[in-house]
Structure 1
Amino acid sequence: MFIVVIGECSSGKSAYLQYLRDTVKGSYFMGVDDARRYNIDTALIEKVFGDEIPLDGFKDKEDARRKLTDACRECSVLLVDQVGFGTRSYSDGRLINNWLAEIGRYKNVITVSHDILKLYNADRIVTLNWDDGVPKLQEVDLDEAEKIVSV
């Protein structure tokens, strides 16, 4: 399942990913966790990409290959903060987001985003509130999500 968490800046979205990292056994937080502790899931790579990771359309092909390979670590839940942040090209971030949605067919992928174009592949879109240090999620539809993200 591919879940996108949205909300205003400083609403605790990144903290939610950290919370999941600390409470969900086997979760992998891309860019935060030591990737060496999580093997590459070659079977998942084959299911998602076939014989090789398709890099057509990416401006920075080597960066895309690294990120997409990293997204295919052996884990129960893949956590991604701001898909495409740090990429040289906005379009590369959108393409990576599309592939994360595909990976979400085989494992849970939870990401946070402020980008309206990254919502369209989501299986679920949720907002987040905190109650005494516990996250409370509320599912929203695409129309509601577009209003929240465009603020």
Structure 2
Amino acid sequence: MEGRVLGSLRILPSLGPTMFRDVFPEIFAQSSLPAADDIMEVSRFCVDSDAVLRSKAVITPNAVTRTLLEALSICMTKQKVRTLIGVHDLMMERILRTCGWQARRIGQPICTDTGLTTVASAFDVPTNLGMQPSSMKDGLSDKLPPSTTHS
């Protein structure tokens, strides 16, 4: 598994170009997009479930997802970011809630050309997830690329 990327996400300042503003303006219901120094946009969240399942490590796609979200919380807390905004499919709301993230819809769900229902949401960065991702405490950090671990 060494050297393989199992999951990733992208974080953009809300004050600059964003997916909301540049790709999904129709999904946002409010007249102005939330933008401030303490608001970031998260996009392109993905976990390569096939790569996780093919790896020889004893991890699951859920563990990788939880680690990404916990590391995101830690990183954003250290950067003094209080809110994240993003566009996601409806199934992701349940996954986020399970991991301690509460979505506040800031737009109405829309059905995309591919049949996927997506929605714009804002999330308060959870600060109660601990200072080290739980999956890292369980030894997953030894199996993840160095850039995903934080001290």
Q: TM-score, normalised by structure 2?
A: 0.26
Q: TM-score, normalised by structure 1?
A: 0.26
Which structure carries more relative contact order (alpha carbon 8 Å, separation 6+)? 1
